[in-house]
Amino acid sequence: MALKDLFITKPEPVKSGSDVQASLAPVSTLDSLFNFMGSYTATRAEAMSVPTVARARGIITSSVASIPLEVRTKRDGARVEDPPRVINQPDPRIPGSATYAFLAEDLLFYGYGYLRILELYAETYRIRSAERINPIRVGIKTNDLGTEIEYYTIDGMPIPTTGVGSVAVFYGNDEGLLHRAGRTIRAGAELERAAAMYAREPVPSMVLKSTGASLPADRIAKLLDSWSASRRNRSTAFLNGDIDMVSVGFDPEKLQLNQARSYVATELARAAGIPAYYVDAESGSSMTYSNATSAKESLVNFSLRPLMTSIEERLSMTGMANDFVPASQEVKFNLDDYLRGSAFERAQVYEIMNRIGALTPDEIRMEEDMIR
């Protein structure tokens, strides 16, 4: 709880068809408060400056965002043909994939995600539209014991506990990558800075020493600029008799910079929950056509599923927070297209399904988009 929260006046609840308690929630763990206090051991900018984290983030979030959401009835699993627009496009101003990509990133990086409610249906008080809010903009006010969240703030200002202007909170499974693996992320960022430094100065750190008369500051500056420019264009140097060069420090090979970057890349892949070969963190690893399908299944089971479950369960939540779909319905990701096999594998499945009477030829054509 930040000190400024002590001086914030509690907002008045917004009248709606929902119980005020619907938007209040317990504080899961002490670590889960780190995203509200801003006490990360790494920032998003540092994380995205590390190629391994940037690639892992891109694969995980873009995969989640590309998988369509469906509304189904709980009784028989039948698909609802005309689901609310908010399910696949929460914010009417931008594509739904953009909202869900950043919502998945928030769950991955911070352990929380937020959608601020923009509109409600007048007859049901369910959410009609919502916008994604960056978690670093969100704060909380807890009770005296720090066990219950009484209300939220955005940019330091209290927001309603229900209705338009309040937030729908998506809970992750841990405190987020930025806190959980912050030290490793910062180590990766430092290694990237070191690599960039050696790229600019592709020789060991050095000192140019004058053995003659002392040179004025402007002459020294020109000499260093000339030396630096020449080293970028030539590997051979020439020095006059009154100048000596002394090397200090170590070159990248002696520092084992490549080995250190490779080690940190593998550790960051583990921390992000993605197989190392997806982010090229393991030398000699490759993905062939024969194992591409099983690799996708592994990605879903070990990397995407935790984020997808958090999104599915919040959109399907019943009880006091029954605000996206009715209690008789649930929201699920449709993985059929994402995990579909090769044409030969699909043909084999269709042949079996047709033989046992589970699919008709017309239904098979529809599955393959052969009927327009």
pLDDT single digits (tens) 46-63? 999 999 999 999 999 999
The model carries a pTM of 0.72
Mean per-residue pLDDT for 247-256? 54
| pLDDT for residue 293 | 62
Q: Identify whether the C-beta of residue 245 lies closer than 8 Å to the C-beta of residue 239.
A: yes
| pLDDT for residue 174 | 84
| pLDDT for residue 87 | 93
With 70 as the cut, is the pLDDT of residue 75 above it? yes
First to last CA, the chain: 57
Phi-psi region of 263 (alpha: psi -120 to 50; beta: other; left: phi over 0): alpha
pLDDT in tens, 254-296: 555 667 778 888 888 888 888 888 877 665 455 554 456 677 7
pLDDT in tens, 20-47: 344 456 666 544 444 444 455 888 999 9
| pLDDT for residue 336 | 80
Query: Contacts from 120-128 at CB under 8 Å and sequence distance 24+?
Result: 120/16, 120/163, 120/164, 124/17, 125/16, 125/17, 125/18, 125/163, 125/323, 126/84, 126/322, 126/323, 126/324, 126/325, 127/86, 127/168, 127/323, 127/324, 128/84, 128/85, 128/86
3-class DSSP assignment, residue 281: coil
When computed from its CA atoms, the radius of gyration of the chain, rounded to whole angstroms, is 28
Q: Identify whether the C-beta of residue 135 lies closer than 8 Å to the C-beta of residue 113.
A: yes
With 90 as the cut, is the pLDDT of residue 129 above it? yes
Distances in whole angstroms, Cα of residue 265 to Cα of each of 59, 178, 274, 299, 300: 15, 15, 11, 18, 21
pLDDT in tens, 320-340: 566 898 888 999 998 887 777
Give the whole-angstrom CA distance, residue 120 versus residue 108: 28
Nearest C-alpha neighbor of 175 from the set 308, 64, 39? 39
- Angle 309-315-321 from CA coordinates, rounded to 5°: 120
Instruction: Round the average pLDDT of the chain to a whole number and report it.
Output: 78
More confident residue, 67 or 150: 67
Give the whole-angstrom CA distance, residue 277 versus residue 270: 11
Pairing mode of beta strands 206-210, 243-247 = antiparallel
Residues near 170 by beta carbon (within 8 Å), at least 6 away in sequence: 103, 106, 107, 112, 113, 114, 115, 310, 311, 314
| pLDDT for residue 37 | 47
Give the whole-angstrom CA distance, residue 215 versus residue 368: 78
With 80 as the cut, is the pLDDT of residue 16 above it? no
| pLDDT for residue 370 | 66
Give the whole-angstrom CA distance, residue 70 versus residue 329: 10
